[in-house]
Amino acid sequence: MGLLDGKVAFVTGVARGQGRSHAIRLAREGAKVIGIDIAGPVSEYNGYRPAAAADLKETDGLLRAEGAVFVLATADVRDSAAMDDVLSSAVAEFGGRLDVVVANAGISNWNRFWEMPDDQWLEMIDINLTGVWRTLKTAVPHMIAAGNGGSIITVSSVAGIKSLPAQAHYSAAKHGVVGLTKAAAAELGEYGIRVNSIHPWGVMTTMVEDPKMAEALSAHPGYGAWYASILHSVPIADPDDISNGVVWLASDLARSVTGTQFTMDMGATKV
């Protein structure tokens, strides 16, 4: 028996990285999984390789290998109508219930705030903050209608607690996710729906391989030294490390936990 037997989980950004890991781990614990990813180019400002259709297909294969029951679809968290279509169809297919939401999809890029063009700022906020709001807006009516309570996990960052140089837009978005999470926890408590944010530090995914990160920090040695002071003392996590927390928050083991900022940062916010 799994911790999530009989439950249905919705995960965004499942093509690879943390989202893929979360989807697989939730399925392994018995949840039926609904997953989406844009599986294509997102931003000209990102220096790392975008997820592709082949990545989403690989997630499909890994879920099949687990014996999971799942639906994967291509959809963008900037497109409410697309998410509505996917969820309405999949929730109906899975008996009308939705118990767990993991708002994971996001991007990362670099610049000093007064030097970035307007569209770099706006794009970051639209995906990393408004995309989380759209995800919750799409999912919550299904959770309320099902009447089973549930758990929502929003993926913030160390940058949602401790602002990062050369990432003011990212920090603003991730701080915003905390505010949204707290408000959602207050509003959804009467329905038995818990809402918590998680706060990873560096996680070994394609995102941390961005050459533009090195360029930005090399161009501004003071920022590089700031990050180095943390990186020298804090190890990089694996996606599965973060999935451990996601599974726990999704399960009834965390039934008394809501409105929290769950740091999974190897102590980075304390350095």
- Residue numbers annotated as active site: 170
In 48-191, the DSSP E strands lie at 70-74, 100-103, 150-155
Cα–Cα distance list, 58 to 62, 218, 253 (Å): 6, 35, 31
Q: Are the C-beta atoms of residues 13 and 19 closer than 8 Å to each other?
A: yes
Cα–Cα distance list, 161 to 10, 91, 156, 170, 176 (Å): 25, 34, 9, 12, 10
Q: Dihedral sign, CA of 108, 114, 116, 117?
A: positive
Q: For residue 30, give the nearest of 73, 71, 66 by alpha carbon.
A: 66
Pairing of strands 150-155, 8-12: unpaired
Can you tell me the distance from the alpha carbon of 186 to that of 4, in angstroms, rounded to the nearest whole number?
A: 24
CB count, 10 Å around CB of 65?
9
CB count, 10 Å around CB of 111?
19
Q: Are the C-beta atoms of residues 158 and 201 closer than 8 Å to each other?
A: yes
